[in-house]
Chain A
C-alpha cells in the first residue's frame, strides 16, 4: 500500500470525505433539509457557511443532504448495473451460441440509442420516484458493463483451469462465480469507478432537467435547478453543487485511474 501515488491519495481522501458526509448527513448538517432559516440568497456568514438558497434554506445543509441522495442513487444504480451486467456478461461468454448472440445483439440495440434520450422516453411514462430512477439508470448502464464483462470473460473462458473445471463436471454457476469472477474482478472494479461517476453526472443531469429527484427532497442537480435564476443576478449559489459534483467526479476518477494502472501493470500490460 505504500506505493500509492499522490494523485490517488488525494482522490481517496476526497472520495472518503464525500461518502462519510453522505452517511453521517443528519449529524453534520447544521439545519434541517427543508427548514427555512433566513432570507432569500443571503451571502455566506458564520450562521450560514455557504449562504442561503432561493427560498432561504441553509445551503450547506441542503448540500450535505443532497449529497446523500445523489451518492445513494448513484451507488445503488452502479451496484444494480454491475450485478446484472457482469452476471449476464459472464453467462453469455460461458454459454456461447445463440444465447450469447441474442444477448449481445440486444445490448448493441439498446446502446445505439443515446442513454439520456432513452431515459427521457422511459421517464415520460414511468412515475419519477427514486426506486424508478435507480432501476432505469441501472438497467441502461448494465449494457455497458455487460460489454466489458463479456469481453473479459471470453478471454478467461479459454484458460486451462476453466476447462479443468468443466471436465470435473462443474455447473455453469460454479464456473461463473468461482472461476471467472475472481479473475475478472480487477478490470471490473476500475470500470466501477467510471460507471459511478457517470451515474452521479446522470442523476444530476436528470434532476437538473426536473426529471430526477423531486422536491422537497434535495439533490445536487436539483439544487442547481432551484438556484439557477440567481446566476443572472450574479449570485453564485448554483455553482456550489456543480463544484461538489466536479470534485467528487475528479477524485473518483483519480482513484479509478490508479486501480486501472495497477491492474494493467500486474498483468504485464494486458488489461
Chain B
C-alpha cells in the first residue's frame, strides 16, 4: 500500500473515531448534568403522574448505556427519533432545513473565499503600506464584533433605511434562484464579513511565510514582477495552509449560521436548533448537535486531506 493511501486511511478512520466519541460526549452531556429533564419540560407545577409518564416516554428509566446504543444505531440508519414538543419525525423536519442551511453557507463561501484570498494577496503585495494597514485594522474590528451586531447594523442601514434588500430572509421552494439569492443577500453579506477578515489575515500570514524562502528571492532576482512571484512561486507552496484556513473558516461559517439564521428568521437548521433548545426538546438538540459536529469534523478532515495531497513529498515518496 502506498504511504499516501495509508495516511489518508488513517486520517479518515481517525475522523470516524472522533465522531463516535463526540456522539458519546453529546449524549453524556445531556444526561450527566444535574436537573431532571422531565421536570424542566413540564415545569415546577407538574403532577407526579405526568412526570412519571414523560420519564417513561423519554426512556429515562432505562440504563444510559442501553439508551445510548439505541440512539446511536437509530441515528446511523437515519432515524433520529421524534421531537418531544411536536411529535414530528426529526429526520423529516431536518431534511429541508439542512438544504436551506447549506444553501446559505454555500453562497457565503462562494463570495468570501475568492475575495479573502485576493485581498490576502493584495495585503502581501502592499505589505506595510496603507492597504495592508487598513486590512489589519478591519480584522481587529471584525473579531471584536459579535455576528448578530453586524447583522443588525446591515439590516438597519441597508434593509430599513435604503431598502436595497429584504430584512428577513424567507425562502421557499416556489422561488426562482434569483429571488432566493435576493432574499438571502443580507445574511450572505454578514457571514462573508464574519469570516473574511480572519481568512484574509491567515492567508496573508501563510504567504508571507513562504515569501521568506530562498526560491522567492531567486524569482525576484530573475526579474519577475511582484504579482508573478506571488502567483507562480509563492501561491502553489501556500496552498496547503490556505486550504486549511479556508476549511477552518467554513467550519466556523456552518456554526456562525446558527446565530445569523435567528437574526434573519431564516428557515434553516440553526433556527430549528435554537428553537428546540429553549423548548428543552432533547432529541432534536442531540440530533442537530450531532449533525453540526459531523459537518465540522468533515470539513477539518477535508483540510487535512488536501494538505496531504498537495505535499509532493508525500505524493512521490522515495
Interface residues of A (CB under 8 A from B): 109-110, 112-114, 116-118, 120-127, 197, 201, 204-205, 208-211, 221, 224, 228, 231-234, 236, 238-239, 242-243, 245-246, 249-250, 253, 257
Q: Tell me the complex Cα distance, A124–B155, Å.
A: 29
Are A250 and B296 also in contact (CB < 8 A) when A117-B289, A126-B35, A209-B262 are? no
Besides A120-B289, A124-B276, 6 more A-B contacts (Cβ < 8 Å) are A125-B29, A209-B262, A228-B263, A233-B160, A246-B149, A253-B143
Return 12 A-B CB contacts under 8 Å, by A number.
A114-B252, A114-B292, A114-B296, A117-B273, A117-B292, A120-B285, A124-B282, A127-B40, A204-B146, A208-B262, A234-B160, A243-B149
- If A239-B156, A246-B145 touch, does A109 touch B282 (CB 8 Å cutoff)? no
Q: Is B161 an interface residue (CB 8 A)?
A: yes
Q: In the complex, which residue of chain A has the Cβ closest to the Cβ of B274?
A: A209
A232 & B160 in contact (Cβ 8 Å cutoff): yes
Contacts A118-B29, A124-B282, A125-B280; A238 near B152 (Cβ below 8 A): yes
Instruction: Give 1 or 0 for each of B238-255: 1 = CB within 8 Å of chain A CB.
Output: 000000000000011001
Tell me if B21 counts as interface (CB < 8 A to partner A). Answer: yes
The dominant DSSP class at the B interface is: helix
Residues facing A in B184-223 (CB within 8 A) are none
Instruction: Find the A residue at minimum CB distance from B256.
Output: A116
Inter-chain CA distance A199–B34, complex, in Å, is 23
Main SS of the interface on chain A?
A: helix
Closest B residue, CB atoms, query A126: B33
The answer to whether B285 and A242 have CB atoms under 8 Å apart is no
Q: A127-B40, A211-B278 are in contact. Are A109 and B18 (CB under 8 A)?
A: yes
Q: Which of B26, B160, B273 contacts A231 (CB 8 A)?
A: B160
Also in contact, A242 and B152, with CB within 8 A (given A120-B277, A122-B33): yes
User: Does residue B259 face the partner (Cβ distance < 8 Å to A)?
Assistant: yes
What is the interface residue range for chain B against chain A?
Answer: 35 or more
Are A116's CB and B277's CB within 8 A? no
Contact, CB under 8 Å: A197 / B144:
yes
Nearest A-chain residue to B143, judged by Cβ = A253
- Check B140 for interface membership: any CB of A closer than 8 A: yes
B281 at the interface (CB under 8 A from A): yes
Chain B residue nearest to A238 (CB atoms) is: B152
Complex Cα spacing A221 to B167, Å: 20
Distance between B117 CB and nearest chain A CB, rounded to angstroms: 24
Query: Least Cβ distance of A130 to chain B in Å?
Result: 15
Contacts of A234 in B (CB 8 A): 156, 160-161
Instruction: Say yes or no: A253 contacts B144, CB within 8 Å.
Output: yes
Determine whether the beta carbon of B144 is less than 8 Å from that of A249: yes
Question: Complex Cα distance A209/B140, Å?
Answer: 25
Chain A residues, CB < 8 A from B306:
none
A261 to B258, CA, bound (A): 35
Give the chain A neighbours of B262 by CB distance below 8 A.
208-209
Minimum CB–CB distance from B101 to chain A (whole Å) comes to 13
- Quick check: B276 and A114 within 8 Å, CB to CB? no
User: How many angstroms between the C-alpha atoms of A2 and B252 in the bound complex?
Assistant: 40
Q: For A105, give the chain B residue with the smallest CB separation.
A: B21
Using known A-B contacts A211-B274, A211-B277, A232-B167, determine if residue A245 contacts B149 with beta carbons closer than 8 Å.
Answer: yes
CB neighbours of B109 from chain A (8 A) = none
Q: Are A113's CB and B22's CB within 8 A?
A: yes
* Cross-chain contact B141 with A250 (CB below 8 angstroms): yes
| Residue numbers in B under 8 Å from A232 (CB-CB) | 160, 167
Contact with A along B128-169 (1 / 0, CB 8 A): 000000000000110111111100110110001100000100
A124 touching B149, Cβ below 8 Å: no
B25's partner among A110, A116, A204 (CB-CB below 8 A) is A110
How many Å from the CB of A88 to the closest CB on chain B?
18
| A residues near B289, Cβ cutoff 8 Å | 113, 117-118, 120-121
Query: Can you name the residue of chain A whose Cβ is closest to the Cβ of B255?
Result: A114
Q: Give, as a whole number of angstroms, the nearest-CB distance from B42 to chain A.
A: 14
Of all A-B residue pairs in the complex, the 3 with the closest CB atoms, nearest first, are A249-B144, A242-B149, A124-B285
A257 to chain B: which residues have CB within 8 Å? 140
C-alpha spacing A113/B259, complex, angstroms: 17
B286 at the interface (CB under 8 A from A): yes
Whole-angstrom CA separation of A211 from B258 in the bound complex? 13
Q: Which of B29, B145, B276, B278 contacts A122 (CB 8 A)?
A: B29
Taking CB atoms, residues of chain A closer than 8 Å to B141 are 246, 250
* B277–A224 CB distance below 8 A: no
A242 and B153 contact, CB distance less than 8 A? yes
Give Cα distance in the complex from A124 to B146, angstroms: 22
Min CB–CB distance B250 → chain A (angstroms):
12
Q: Are B281 and A127 touching (Cβ within 8 A)? A: no
Verify A245–B22 contact, CB threshold 8 A.
Answer: no
B122 within 8 A of A: no
A243 to B276, CA, bound (A): 29
Q: Report the separation of the CA atoms of residues A209 and B146 in the bound assembly, to the nearest whole angstrom.
A: 12
Residues B293 and A231 in contact, CB atoms below 8 Å apart: no
Q: CA separation between A125 and B37, bound complex, in Å?
A: 6
B111 contacts the other chain (Cβ, under 8 Å)? no
How far, in angstroms, from A227 to B252 measured CA to CA in the complex? Answer: 27
Are B145 and A249 in contact (CB-based, < 8 A)?
yes
Cβ of A54 to closest chain B Cβ, rounded Å: 14
